[in-house]
Structure 1
């Protein structure tokens, strides 16, 4: 029997316009809400992410972070 989808945890989220567009685009394409999209991504994180690509992209993001904050 599948687990019931209960969105019981809430937290304030700040993200860039690009990130929000990607998230809402993904949710629209999948036919689910933004909350459901975030839940799906994090519940299935290890199976939907490529570990090598994730590590590489995270290094790039961290290297550019100070410039992006300015």
Structure 2
């Protein structure tokens, strides 16, 4: 169960990192501004920062638990 959750959090973090591609990259940045998926740029940045931090903490917690069980 922990390995499955660890894999899901890993995929989640990869997706978040792709959403955080720098603004000069025209492809994803233009998509995000045209579709307005994440709202305004400042609130989207803050939201992604919080989400990334929570995901990293959850990943480390699960990784430590998996290592202690082995």
Q: TM-score, normalised by structure 2?
A: 0.31
* Greater relative contact order (Cα < 8 A, sep 6+): 2
Higher helix proportion: 2
Q: TM-score, normalised by structure 1?
A: 0.31
